[in-house]
Amino acid sequence: MPHDHAHGHHHVDPDAGDRAVAAAVGVNVALTVAEIVGGLLSGSVALIADAVHNLSDAASLGIAWFARRIGRRPTDATMTFGYKRAELVAALINLTTLIVIGLYLIYEAVQRFFAPVEVIGWLMIWVSVFALIVDAVTAWLTYRLSKESVNIRAAFMHNVADALGSVGVIVTGLLIVSFGWSWADPLATLLIAGYILWMAVGEIRGVIRTLMLGTPPGIEPDEVLAAMETVEGVASVHHLHIWQISERVVSLEAHLVTDAETLPQIARVKGRLRDMLHTRFEITHVTLDAETPELACAHPARIGS
């Protein structure tokens, strides 16, 4: 049976953003060292929690940088789809790490409620102000790239959670200095951890869905089938599969039943289908297996299998 392929191309500057991500890694490593020292000297678990999270920031940005470079490698005999999914794997690693960190912070905070520790509020405040400045710089370096890549977006989310953590630690330090409320430290840690978990769990669902070859968000297979069967020359469509190769490349595979009898006629039907799928659904990689009504699959599944 003849097959047909339509390919979408995205031209991206090969070195776009690499230097920005590398710079973000550097400032986050420096911040981690400063916060660990500040946390140990002040006795603040919230500050150490923020430092642990910052270390994960540096690691996540490093993984993101590495994945960006791998993702730009061309296709080869081993990886016929290319290496675009490296960024999705990196995002999964980063978000999973974020969830583990969130759970660890909750454990640490609960421990502190039962065994309070004296905290030096002013030291917390000054170290956290420095941390907030670094978080702002990192956010600035990665914000534009986060709109284009789920991988960089995961690293950017690490950073946003960190900035909120720094704000929380500053407020906590002020409460300890002003009122002596030592319980504010583990409370702030719980709030930071809760936000980290809420954010990471929300984002990781989409990454898992893509890696599991799920239908892309916003595309309804039944709607795609109905649209395909309105195209001139299409009798019916079955065995439909729709998935994402990467964040911006959507693929479709299906069996096409057509009354077209010659190869040029079949090619024209496929061409009309390609144009419709690209225009209406932004599906850029299409593989169609053409069948005649007499030799079509017996009792085929409309979607999948």
3-state secondary structure the chain: CCEEEECCCCCCCCCCCHHHHHHHHHHHHHHHHHHHHHHHHHCCHHHHHHHHHHHHHHHHHHHHHHHHHHHCCCCCCCCCCCCCCHHHHHHHHHHHHHHHHHHHHHHHHHHHHHCCCCCCHHHHHHHHHHHHHHHHHHHHHHHHHHCCCHHHHHHHHHHHHHHHHHHHHHHHHHHHHHHCCCCHHHHHHHHHHHHHHHHHHHHHHHHHHHHCCCCCCCCCHHHHHHHHCCCCCEEEEEEEEEEEEECCEEEEEEEEEECCCCHHHHHHHHHHHHHHHHHHHCCCEEEEEEECCCCCCCCCCCECC
Mean pLDDT of all residues in 241-270:
90
Mean pLDDT of all residues in 64-85:
79
Find out whether 60 and 154 touch, Cβ atoms under 8 Å: yes
Between these two residues, 162 and 266, which has the higher pLDDT value? 266
* Total residues found in the chain within this entry: 305
3-state secondary structure 21-32: HHHHHHHHHHHH
Query: Burial, 302: exposed, middle or buried (Cβ in 10 Å; 0-12, 13-18, 19+)?
Result: middle
pLDDT at 17: 64
| Third-level CATH fold of 215-291 | Alpha-Beta Plaits (3.30.70)
pLDDT at 219: 92
Highest mean pLDDT among 43-52, 67-76, 199-208: 199-208
Find out whether 281 and 219 touch, Cβ atoms under 8 Å: yes
Residue 76 has pLDDT above 90, yes or no: no
pLDDT at 94: 79
What is the average pLDDT score of the chain? 81
* Per-residue pLDDT tens over the stretch 28-51: 787 788 888 887 887 777 777 777
Distance CA 277, CA 27 (A): 45
User: Domain spans of the chain?
Assistant: 11-211, 215-291
* Per-residue pLDDT tens over the stretch 256-303: 999 888 999 999 999 999 999 999 999 989 999 999 888 888 888 999
| Third-level CATH fold of 11-211 | Alpha-lytic protease prodomain-like (1.20.1510)
Q: Is residue 151 very low, low, confident or very high in pLDDT (cuts 50, 70, 90)? A: low
